[in-house]
Amino acid sequence: MGSTIGTDIATSLGDEAEYLLDYRCEGIPGDTLHLPGPDIIERVVSHKHRNPSVLRSLGSMLNTGRLGGSGYLSILPVDQGIEHTAGASFAPNPRYFDPANIVELAIEGGCNAVASTVGVLSSVSRQYAHRIPFIVKLNHNELLTYPTMYDQTLFASVKQSFDLGAVAVGATIYYGSPESRRQITEIAEAFEYAHELGMVTVLWAYLRNSDFKKDGVDYHTAADTTGQANHLAATIEADIVKQKQAEGNGGFPAIGFGKSHPAMYDSLTSDHPIDLVRWQVANCYMGRAGLINSGGPSGEDDMHQAIRTAVINKRAGGMGLISGRKAFQKPTAEGVALLNAIQDVYLDESITIA
């Protein structure tokens, strides 16, 4: 369990330290994956059909912040002003109504990039676009429509994002929803144009369908269903896939749709969280598209949960974490400390691939 960079990771994991730090995956071995590392662009990304400017843009992300040069990513996402309403998102710390403070948190927190809305990033682009890579989120589900509906609507164009100095664009597809086929077409076309302009593409590959909850179990985060969402994300050439960390498995057979194979639930995976996320990585073309897991909502146990999520992601073969509410819904010093603790997991060479 070795030394750490600045965070006592084993102590933070508590009773789960040995369970998470010493586990070895047997279903899908780590040596079959395309793993993050200092040479990931030359070893993996350069083999893709990508404009050389995309490699430059990805390089700017991978060489920024505390994780610069490691091949891993720590991203601050703040699009919750639309997705969860500005009041609900920023009331815990009103200074983040000001876009400049969002970007300053990403910089002070040692992040590789900041992801936000076109409005947030364009309002401070001339001040910050040269200091930290921007990721513009193209579409959103806004909550002012009544009755509440769940659909991703385009708020920005790829050209707008390029012109304000962003190196990447992000988008969400609600796989499993009635609107998903339209979203797939919209975002596939947007990603194609982004690559033409030399931009990196990031997909929030989320599931949304009320029928994905069955007999009291929520399969929106099951390994098999989220794994397929990741595979679809890689299919439309997402360079990076953002996914909720897998919890449980067996969504396809429980819900009674799609197709599956017994090996998905016995020989290739187990109920261990690292195995479940390893299945998510495998569906990202065995790591050719980087998997970043989301940090989830803010709560009373944020530091422990953030470190735990990072350890599982790294040991499974993931590329990093994208954590927003846990960082910006608290005093700045605490937010910076949380981001740094996440980064410490990826900097700690004793935390190896399972």
User: For the segment 179-235, what is each residue's pLDDT rounded down to a tens digit?
Assistant: 999 999 999 999 999 999 999 999 999 999 999 999 999 999 999 999 999 999 999
What phi and psi, each to the nearest 5 degrees, are found at residue 230? -65, -40
326 catalytic residue (yes or no): no
Neighbour count for residue 136 (Cβ, 10 Å) = 32
Model pLDDT for residues 101-152, shown as the tens digit of each residue: 999 999 999 999 999 999 999 999 999 999 999 999 999 999 999 999 999 9
Beta-carbon-side half-sphere exposure of residue 78 (alpha carbons within 13 Å): 28
Domain ranges of the chain: 9-347
- Residue 181 token pair: 């086929």
User: Position of tokens 């994208």?
Assistant: 322
What pLDDT was estimated at residue 5?
A: 65
d(CA 215, CA 266) in angstroms, rounded, equals 22
Model pLDDT for residues 226-281, shown as the tens digit of each residue: 999 999 999 999 999 999 999 999 999 999 999 999 999 999 999 999 999 999 99
Residue among 113, 133, 114, 112 at smallest CA distance from 70: 112
Domain 9-347 has CATH 3.20.20.70: yes
Q: Please identify which of the residues 213, 214, 242, 259 carries the catalytic annotation.
A: 242
